[in-house]
Amino acid sequence: MLYRRFPRIPDKEISVLGFGMMRLPLKKNSDEPDYDLTKQMVKTAFDNGINYFDTAYPYHGGKSEVVLGAALKELGIREKVYVADKMPLWEVKKQEDLYRIFDEQLKRLQTDYIDFYLLHAIGAERWQQIKDLQVLSFLKQLKSSGKIKHIGFSFHDSPDAFKTIIDGFPLWEFCQVQYNYMDKEAADLIAYAAKNEIGTIVMEPLRGGLLAQPPKPILDIFAAASKPRMPAEWGLRWVWENQNVVVALSGMSVSEQMIMNIATACAGHPNSLPNAQLDTVKKASEWFNSRVKVPCTGCNYCSPCPKKIAISDIFREWNRLSLNGCLESTDHVKSTAYYDILKSDRGADQCVECRLCEGYCPQKIQIPDLLKVAHAAMQ
């Protein structure tokens, strides 16, 4: 395993691969995380050098924090790893909510401190909320008391908003942004953070798994490269090329993914890919961006929908059809998967345009509008 350091936290070595705990293995026919499988994956991660574990208050309906805390305690490794957790500001209506939620997180995690604490998915609108509720004073108080060790934020908004947030608080030590070879715009954000001596954590380095299991045209592009690599390896190595990226989070749900990503991490040096290989990734990026219909990563922040619409499933199927050239078909039924969603009354035809989902979407997707387009395309 390779390790990097945050500029403002030079005493800590962080594994370049972090275990993102948003897509844990599930119990059979259930949305509940499988604790035994998760514990085994935590052990595998730790035994192979991963020391950064990232969770959040809403992941798996609050169960991600619970299973992580239990696994670290049972394995006896809490003091040997770094736990990252996040304050869900959309749940905060008054300052008392900050203390209530944080105390609940400590209980879920079975710990009395959190190593890396983030304000979750902030942008211009929530920045104003942060100032109104004196959230930054709350963070400083937690750090001075030792309940959190380092302060950061995860971000989804415009470059101008990012700069405002970076410049607006001198105690930021790290930030977290979405960055992969399809979402390259964040390179400017990472550079601005580095200019201010703030290290970056990358989320969605494989675009919710899309880059790890690409369609055949992408496989053909990679097969033509001089260096054979699995698709996930190409994606992760591209992210680690950036020397200002400290850790890339992978939401691994099976041990095989973890083992492969750990092997890749052992070669994830910055500035290590020759130009010919970077050109290969560029070709893959151009192909993907020409075919993807909607930038949904399947994070499910938009759920549950009041009408029980399977938003991420619908967008995933729409993208799959487009990536595989199926939308050009003249057949009347283009997607049996979407037909099954419609039969279960979870289709886009159920949307009443309440737009609650848009307020939660980190990608700022105009969900009701694109659901209409997807519905028309898949019928």
DSSP state of 16: S
Beta-bridge mates of residue 26: 33
Q: 157 and 124 in contact (C-beta within 8 Å)? A: yes
Catalytic residue among 35, 52, 57, 59: 59
> Which phi and psi angles does 65 have, rounded to 5°?
-60, -40
C-alpha 350/C-alpha 304 separation (Å) is 14
Among candidates 129, 143, 55, which has minimal Cα distance to 97? 129
Phi first, then psi: what are they for 185, rounded to 5°?
Answer: -60, -25
With CA atoms as reference, report the closest residue to 21 among 51, 49, 54, 43.
54
DSSP 26: B
Q: Is 3 a catalytic residue?
A: no
* Contact criterion met (CB below 8 Å) for 116 and 150: yes
The three-state secondary structure class of 185 is coil
Report the alpha-carbon distance of residue 94 to residue 4 in Å, rounded: 37
Longest dimension (CA), the chain: 64
Q: How far apart are CA 248 and CA 261, in angstroms?
A: 11
Report residue 51: phi and psi, to 5°: -125, 10
DSSP state of 33: B
Q: Which two tokens stand for residue 245?
A: 């990226």
Pairing of strands 174-178, 148-155: parallel
Residue with tokens 């083992």: 259
Compute φ and ψ for 88, nearest 5 degrees.
-80, 90
Alpha helices in the chain (DSSP H): 35-47, 63-75, 95-109, 124-132, 135-145, 159-167, 186-195, 216-223, 231-240, 255-265, 275-291, 311-323, 336-343, 356-360, 367-377
Where in the sequence numbering do the catalytic residues fall?
Answer: 59
